[in-house]
């Protein structure tokens, strides 16, 4: 079946440090890939997406590149801020019977210290 594997957290960084959160996937066909973020006390919201191989999604200084050869979609940011502290979920969406069916990873908690 389809699955998403994320690195375990929490990831703890100092402000302005470089961030990488690893995500790999298993899926049939050509899924679309997403990163969602959940800030404390809030619902999940889409951070960025990529719909085909070699696409790069970007938003708010975060980036991720769809790598089909390594089945990966790692999240990166060059300089994190305290306000980036949240839980990050990698997800894929595959077409089944004409509709996109989503699968989420377990989430990675990011804690950024001043």
Partner 1 sequence: EAEVAQSPRYKITEKSQAVAFWCDPISGHATLYWYRQILGQGPELLVQFQDESVVDDSQLPKDRFSAERLKGVDSTLKIQPAELGDSAMYLCASSLARAGAYNEQFFGPGTRLTVL
Least Å distance, CB 69 to partner 1, is 23
Residue with smaller CB distance to partner 1, 83 or 96:
96
Residue with smaller CB distance to partner 1, 43 or 114:
43
Least Å distance, CB 98 to partner 1, is 4
Least Å distance, CB 19 to partner 1, is 19
What string of DSSP letters covers 51-97?
Answer: -STT-EEEETTEEEE-BTTTTB--EEESS--GGG-EEEEEEEEEEET
Instruction: Name residues whose C-beta falls within 8 Å of residue 32's C-beta, 6 or more positions apart in sequence.
Output: 49, 50, 51, 92, 93, 94, 100
Residue with smaller CB distance to partner 1, 18 or 101:
101
Can you tell me the distance from the alpha carbon of 46 to that of 82, in angstroms, rounded to the nearest whole number?
19
Per CB under 8 A, residues contacting partner 1 are 4, 32, 42-46, 49, 51, 89, 91, 93, 95-107
Residue with smaller CB distance to partner 1, 41 or 114:
41
Q: Is the dihedral of CA 22, 27, 30, 32 positive or negative?
A: negative
Least Å distance, CB 67 to partner 1, is 19
């Amino acid at each position: 079946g389809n699955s998403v594997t994320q690195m375990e957290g929490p990831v703890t960084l100092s402000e302005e440090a470089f961030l990488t959160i690893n995500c790999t996937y298993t899926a049939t066909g050509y899924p679309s890939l997403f990163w969602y973020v959940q800030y404390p006390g809030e619902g999940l919201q889409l951070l960025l997406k990529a719909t085909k191989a070699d696409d790069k999604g970007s938003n708010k200084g975060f980036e991720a590149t769809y790598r089909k050869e390594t089945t990966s979609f790692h999240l990166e940011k060059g300089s994190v801020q305290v306000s980036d502290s949240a839980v990050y979920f990698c997800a894929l969406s595959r077409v089944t019977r004409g509709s996109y069916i989503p699968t989420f990873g377990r989430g990675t908690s990011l804690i950024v210290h001043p």
